[in-house]
Structure 1
Amino acid sequence: MVALNFPKYSFRFKNSENKIAVFDELRKKFVVLTPEEWVRQHVVQFLILDKNYPKNHINVEKQLKLGKLTKRYDAVVFKPNGEIKVVVECKAPHIKITQEVFDQVARYNLSLKADYLMLTNGINHYYCKLDYKAEKYEFLRELPAYKIS
């Protein structure tokens, strides 16, 4: 897999049915190592090890209802009260983060109502804070670290 713009993390791999799999410590199972999964696994480690978000507050690859559509989010970080702190959209490293990608995570967030959005292809990372009262968002240099609120 390609080197990503994250600190170096250690991962467990196995070869299964001629496919490489990586151990997902949140799902507690090996998952096929696709380029997008490689980015997601780095994001999970980044959230836990670098931003100090509790592992039990992070959820990956869950279904989301958007009207009549069923979608899947890549990762979310929950607050202790169950509200959503961060929504993360991961793309494979060769996928550019465009307005269309930003619009995708913004649509997901219509029902999730997160405080922050993170978009990444593993090379470029974008973070923004949402202000629902003023109906605007502000791009940030980095995602805030976990703190009990």
Structure 2
Amino acid sequence: MSSNQDPAWIFPLYDLRLQRRPQGLYVWDIIRKQYVSLQPEEWVRQQTLQYLIQGLGYPQGWVQVERGLRYGIKQLRTDVVLYHPQTTQPWVLIECKAPEIPLSESTLHQALTYQAKLQAQVICLTNGLRWLTAIQNDSGKWVFEEAMLPPYAQMMS
């Protein structure tokens, strides 16, 4: 899936617990506590989880993966949601894409659809090669910039 020498990845690469099965390769999801099929988007999601928890210090207990959402008649699933430890409300919404999928208007629209239901304070988009972070400005418009999410201690201060 990747090479530790590949300088294009935006976060450090973590060793993931893998399992080969007749159906293919599976990866241990530290949040869902189960093996899931290792597809390119799942690889980005698992690396993102490791980066959030090990690299940035976000508490594992406040992280949810693939939360189901009802949007009209559609059933949607968010990739990663971080909850605020003081309010217990959705805090950061992270939408992961496979590395070959560009972060586009479509990706942004998908995240904003989830945001409309969750009301998180921060939206992040990543494909492992880019990371965009957005907050709402005073007029309510989401402003995206090429910036990683700050460490947990900084977000809490």
TM normalised by structure 2 equals 0.87
Partners of 1:114 and 1:137 lie apart in 2 by: 12
Question: Deviation digits for residues 40-67 of structure 1, max 9, x if unmatched?
Answer: 0011011112221100000001211112
State the partner residue of 1:130.
136
State the partner residue of 1:83.
89
1:27 lines up with 2:32 in the alignment: yes
**Greater mean deviation of Cα atoms: 76-85 or 138-147:** 138-147
5+ residue gaps in structure 1? Answer: none
Among 33, 37, 44, which residue is 2:42 paired with? 37
Q: Which has the higher strand share?
A: 1
State the partner residue of 2:111.
105
Partners of 1:65 and 1:77 lie apart in 2 by: 19
- 1:46-125 equivalences under 5 Å are 46-80=51-85, 81-125=87-131
- Cα RMSD after superposing both structures: 1.5
Secondary structure of residue in 2 paired with 1:114: coil
User: How many residues are matched?
Assistant: 148
The percentage of aligned residue pairs carrying the same residue is 35
State the partner residue of 2:6.
none
TM normalised by structure 1 equals 0.92
Task: Return structure 1 stretches of 4+ with deviation > 3 angstroms.
Answer: none
Partners of 1:18 and 1:101 lie apart in 2 by: 29
Partners of 1:54 and 1:130 lie apart in 2 by: 24
| Superposition deviation, residue 28 in structure 1 | 0.9
5+ residue gaps in structure 2? Answer: 4-8
Partners of 1:51 and 1:66 lie apart in 2 by: 31
Secondary structure of residue in 1 paired with 2:152: coil
